[in-house]
Structure 1
Amino acid sequence: MHLNQVPESLNDVEVIAPNLKRKLSGVTSTIIQLVPLQRANGLGIVTIGPGLPATLPHIGWADLRGAWFKPRNRPFRIWHARRNTEMVAGIILRSVLRMKFKLLFTSAAQRDHRSFTKWLIRQMDGVIATSGKSGSFLKVPHRVIMHGIDTEKFYPPQNEEDAFSASGLPGKYLVGCSGRIRPSKGTDLFVDAMINLLPKYPEWTAVMTGRTTAEFSGFEKDLRGRIAAAGLQDRILFLGEVPDVRVWYRRMTLYVAPSRNEGFGLTPLEAMSSQTAVVASDAGAYAEMIELETGAVVPAGDGLALEKAIEPYLADPAKCEAAAKAGLAHVRANFPLQKEASSILEVYETIFADERVG
């Protein structure tokens, strides 16, 4: 079956990846990136639900009538949920309607789950945690499979457009962060660190890429006021949403991920894959993806620690270069998207090996 075809039946469908949220989210992005790779690996996987591009193999709810019958080459299908609503739907399909499903849940939450969520998780036939930190909140057997990135999409500088000089900004080196402008992303921590550090390091310029929603327009206005009061409005810049953030990763000598909290957080991996040194908080899975030779990690929300971690890199660009090279090798070895897809396939096969239908 061609990748873009909508299946006429479920005969060759082994796994269904539901997306029961219309608004784009990190979970949606994960599905969009993984499903084509999983199909390229020979897996019969389709999606169901709103908010997904037409390029993905997709079925409608009416097609699930075929799920009372087992697929051509498997004793059942796997319903791979990533949200509570999707776990609920899977339980109804398997345990109420008695369709031939087993249920898999991927958990990214890094907090103690509510009682209802714990109950849902206990009903699953398999569980994946996206980090060791998220796995520490699970009370059931699970496998840790961290997210990966497309290392062909995020790559080191290759031409003049990727050079800092192409940005037209003052200075010689660029330090930046990416993400929506809001307190949870630690934008204020980054700005305060830059206000304190840039006067000592005149060759550096700082940028922030990402949108500011109406809710946080006052937050951005306050940050701009602080920058203007320090006389650094030409060296600490809000770029807003940029057409392609990847080129900015390549132009940066140092990337900073100052978040107070994250679900997982891919930007340090994207920066390292672009051969850029990284300083990050320990929010999300940052601490599990950054090693000593690839960058530095500080406690989330600690502005002073963030500033102290950034300064050695501004003082010694050669330190950035060494960390950038180590980071590139680290990401390519440990975080390619294909590795994530292959590891999930191993979990599917483990579930399929138990031929009893849930």
Structure 2
Amino acid sequence: MGPANISAGNLQLIVPNLHRRYSGVTATNRMVAPKLAKMFRSAWLGPNAPDGIARIGFADLLRLRRRPTPVIWHARRNNEMIVGVLLRSLGWPLKLVFTSAAQRHHSWITRWLIGRMDAIIATSAISASFLKRKATVILHGVDTDSYAPPVDRASAFAEAGLPGRYAIGCFGRVRAQKGTDVFVDAMCRLLPRYPDFTAVVVGAITPEQQGFANDLKRRIEAAGLTSRILMTGELPIEEVPRWYQRLTIYAFTSRNEGFGLTLIEAMSAGNALVASRAGAAEVVVEDGVTGVLTPPGDVDALVAALEPLMRDPKAAAAMGERARAQVLEKFSLDAEANKIAAVYRDLSIPQKPIAR
């Protein structure tokens, strides 16, 4: 059952993660779920469970069917909403909550499912604007202890064995939606001018994106930069924070995004940030202070925003310090968890801290 003693009789919250591939949704779930588990008797259903929360399997759900008190089922994907609606129709005493990050009009099935939820959370006001019902806006938080600046960034960089003295990174699955091509094209123009920098692309290359990735590799080779633009592929979850610590600058290049968790991960790690105006960037980033905002998909604008920071790494470091301070003030996991807990309480699920 996992690290906590959870039984069907006292369970208050189920965190379903019905998606085998690791994704941004999984990452947000993994960070906030242990915080919620300190406030509610909680269990995680599905792969990629984090430490700090109990686990249950589908067989364990059978014990919940006829219990007298409700259990929160907090979905973040359509398939998780479908399972919750189905279970409740078959007699499970579930209160259904859905978190929406999408910044687009929803399909008919998503609208139908949303209409059957007991409460809706949106990760930004923009996401909320696409919903046809009332939603509580709760911005994501980040684990500021795990995603912390290194004691010595130069040593962290040296540990990776990369050429040069500084790193600039772009994290996320390698695909056009994430703007990986925008980043690579900008690096092909900038790196020849700044020999102290190495570029790092961290993220999975799925089979359907292999052609896209191969094209990027051809561009890198044509520019003579195969040793200075590193594509790591997918990394173990626990290794990602260290890669942020190796960066001086982070480029968020998404063309469209639900929230964009890497924004606040990079800021929390003290990276200078250049971000496209996608996802929550305009809410999270104070333009010119904690980062620089650019139009999505615009290579010229990305180059123009990155070059002053690459020219002056001390200025980049100062921006990273301001970004870290802003995350500590506004985007902590505790703040996110407390606001989610308030939504649960409104559904008559009492908060009962678990003795530790």
| Band of TM-score, shorter chain | 0.7 to 0.9
Bigger radius of gyration among the two = 1
What TM-score comes out, normalization by structure 1 length? 0.86
| Matched residue, 1:318 | 314
Give ranges in structure 1 of 5+ residues lacking alignment.
none
1:298 to 294, 301, 305: 294
How far has the Cα of 1:108 moved from its partner? 1.5
Aligned residues: 345
One-letter identity of the residue aligned with 1:351:
L
Query: Superposition pairs for residues 106-125 of structure 1, below 5 Å?
Result: 106-125=99-118
Contact 1:281-1:299 at 8 Å conserved across structures: yes
Note if 1:44 corresponds to 2:38.
no
Change in Cα spacing, 1:129 to 1:263, as seen in structure 2 (3 Å) is: same
| Matched residue, 1:284 | 279
How far has the Cα of 1:256 moved from its partner? 0.7
Query: Superposition pairs for residues 72-83 of structure 1, below 5 Å?
Result: 76-83=70-77
Contact 1:253-1:276 at 8 Å conserved across structures: yes
What TM-score comes out, normalization by structure 2 length? 0.86
* In structure 2, distance between residues paired with 1:79 and 1:70: 16
* In structure 2, distance between residues paired with 1:19 and 1:2: 15
How far has the Cα of 1:141 moved from its partner? 0.8
Note if 1:275 corresponds to 2:273.
no
Contact 1:162-1:247 at 8 Å conserved across structures: no
One-letter identity of the residue aligned with 2:30:
I
Secondary structure, counterpart of 1:176 in structure 2: strand
Contact 1:5-1:57 at 8 Å conserved across structures: no
Contact 1:3-1:39 at 8 Å conserved across structures: no
2:84 to 70, 87, 90: 90
Secondary structure, counterpart of 1:199 in structure 2: helix
Change in Cα spacing, 1:194 to 1:291, as seen in structure 2 (3 Å) is: same
Secondary structure, counterpart of 1:16 in structure 2: strand
Aligned-pair RMSD on alpha carbons? 2.7
* In structure 2, distance between residues paired with 1:26 and 1:177: 14
- Higher mean C-alpha displacement, 145-154 vs 233-242: 233-242
Change in Cα spacing, 1:36 to 1:236, as seen in structure 2 (3 Å) is: closer
* In structure 2, distance between residues paired with 1:83 and 1:240: 25
**Partner deviation per Cα, 1:6-56 (whole Å, 9 max, x = no partner):** 51xx32122222333344433334333333221212x122234x3254963
| Matched residue, 1:68 | 66
| Matched residue, 1:139 | 132
Contact 2:24-2:261 at 8 Å conserved across structures: no
Secondary structure, counterpart of 2:293 in structure 1: strand
How far has the Cα of 1:2 moved from its partner? 8.1
Change in Cα spacing, 1:206 to 1:343, as seen in structure 2 (3 Å) is: same
Contact 2:65-2:91 at 8 Å conserved across structures: no
1:57 to 52, 55, 58: 55
Note if 1:332 corresponds to 2:328.
yes
* In structure 1, distance between residues paired with 2:307 and 2:111: 43
